[in-house]
Structure 1
Amino acid sequence: MMCRTNEAHDPDGEPDVDATDAAFTSLLEHSTEELYEQAPCGYLSTMMDGTIAKINATLLGWLGLERSRVVGRMRFTDLLTVGGKLYHETHFAPMLQMKGEINGIALDIKAAGGQRMPVLVTSKVKTSESGEPMLIRTSVFDAHDRRAYETELLRSRQAAEEARRQAESDRERLQEALAVLQQNLLPATLPDVPGLEAASYYHTASPDLLGGDFYDLFPLDTERWAFFLGDVCGKGPQAAAVTSLTRYTLRAAALHDSDPVNVLTTLNTVLHERYTSGDTRYCTAIFGVLHPGSDHVEVHLASGGHPSALIQRADGSADYLATPGGMLVGVLPKAEFADARTQLYPGDTLLLYTDGLTEARIGPDRALYGEDALYAFTADQSAEGPQALITALTGLLAGFGEGLDDDTALLALGVPAPLPTPFRLPRVKT
């Protein structure tokens, strides 16, 4: 079977190369023109004054205009919205003149039906062989999808920012509520005790969690005062509930029987019975009684698994009031507690603290601060009374920075030193 082709032939039957090249060139020119007119983006060429010299069918379709109304009759800026014209005059045109090209500029054109159409515009100046500018070639890309993506992205960012602000607001409200609850677990102020000075400080490790440290100072009768300080295991609402129960139990037990060992024994019974099943809760605590005398204050205290109290003496020395063998409060149905006695004379201060102080981490190796360091620090301070010692310890805690990761309660009780007698020059008789 014989096949026919469209290939041109010369009289001798050989293919006519010139005719083939001419046909291909014609087809290529036709395809190039069609590609320009029907391209997926808009094309236009303008004179240097902005007058449109050529525009493709795609862009005309977006604009809803006839070619005859555009070519030679309109400028590029006539296709833009008011905002686009302003941006073209102030930014687009000056940058194009200075650089000779400008890429990916977001503008809005006046599309068919009076709608705004978001586009991305790229322009380049064509120059003559001598470098003189001749015309401006511009490509216009439909940016509907990109604008929609940017709008959705902006909405997402706005929603995320609103959620972040709401979360911060919720956290602030939570912190305020926790701060109020924490304050209700501590005395608002320490009472004035005749012949004594008292000072306290509470460091909260995290504003987002309720701590379990507690302290108090209150009268037993007209002559004696009771004090306590301790630390409930754990943090949060459950620890706060144990703290509240502990404080009220200690106060009530002391009014019934003020012996420190008996007070801690009562607390141990209450905690063990309350939390004997399920989540075991316990605490460490020191409870004591102050009995002011004529020239000193008698101190009788007992400890349940708590760090020993530290005494700063008026002569500049310091020593721990040891209470070995005191057991944790609330773990066992029957617990042994250690008691101790001492006297405070003018200038002496009794310091009670929770283990957040001694278990703070210091140095590059994050070693425990420890009781020896606390002893040395206290002995190095001038014996100026409870408030001066608490102030010094507050500065110490602040210096620990991130190494102080637990709540810390401080309570200092002391006998004021007598004021020095003013020196007076003897009166000279004249």
Structure 2
Amino acid sequence: MSFLPAPARSMPRRSVIRPLMTVAMLGVCVGIASYISLMTMTGQSLDDEALAQAKADRNDFFPWIFLAAAQHLPELVSIAAAVLALVWTFRTRRWIPALAGLGMILGANFTTQFLKRVLLEKPDYGIQQIVHNSFPSGHTTATATILVALLLVAPPHLRAKTATWGWFLAAITGMLTVLNGWHRPSDAAAALLIVGAWGVLAVLAIRFADAALSRPGAHPSDVYRRVRQKMDARRENLQQREDRGDSAFIPPAGSHQQQHNPHQPGIGQPGPRGDGNPRFGTQGPAAASYSNAPYVNAPYPQAQQPYPPAGFQQNPYAQYNGPGHGHRAPVHPRRGTVITLLVLAIGLAVTVALMPSPAVAGTWAGRATVIAGYLGIAAAAALSWRSVARWLRSLS
């Protein structure tokens, strides 16, 4: 049985292609949502009717204290998640996930603003309540990115709960942007999908960094440790030379210099037993220390110790252990939840779109439209969080 440390593993090609396929799938979903909600008259009418119904329901079903809290809940969630992420980062010293989370926050928010202000335009079909383009939602993106960053820096045993609460709070934040009259349902859903794509890219960056740091001596602290060891060895070698001088003096038996100085004649040099070898001869000072000791214990007693020696610690930054290794946190939300939410949202939207009379706020069709929008937001959040949590399972 070998006690040697396992060699560093490089990331398999499958571990790179499959996350990129997930990112492409989320990007395709954003493209489909943008085409339906912006470029088609049916999509625009359903989106605007859901917004009108949400505004009408504010005063009918929700008390004023709830509406006042809903105005500030996204900011409160963002602040609380950011503080908790900082605490977990400094307690666990997960600097690489923290940097990846920061890059994810910047990238997702930049993507949202670029799509909204530069790339996408909303044609005017005479049915929209808000003239300018609001797709995707910047409010939802800002809060969701901080929640995903919290998931990246969460300890392994808390990832399942963090994913569940992150999905729930992100979905609630997206729904509140509709209830507050800030955005349409498609805006919030697309923002959550964009955040999920950038979250998968952040996980992929963490896995690349962990695979690189798992190589022996790759971490800066290992380089510094090797330099210190070389300096100490050189200093000890010079000290031994000064203590030895040019004479062939053999220190007395039991002295520190005799036991640890490999440069003394007869000390630390392999050779046969006999009178000609001062280590094992029956004459001289060296005989007192080695004559009664078995050969396996002299002159290299450290050779008999098993590897790794006591106190040996693997590189704490070697987190990547390949697919199927390491802590595998449960994935939340589950695939059945995503499929159920998507089927319900699409089913309600298609039913309302195929009705002969248009949906009007206060009617059954209007309420079905806004419910479909809320279900779509929850489905987008579930799909995004599942995609990120799935690739976090192989990280320790």
- TM-score interval, normalised by the smaller of the two chains: under 0.3
- TM-score w.r.t. the length of structure 2 is 0.21
Which structure is higher in strand share? Answer: 1
Larger Rg: 1
- TM-score w.r.t. the length of structure 1 is 0.19
Q: Report 1 or 2 for greater relative contact order, CA contacts < 8 Å, sequence distance ≥ 6.
A: 2
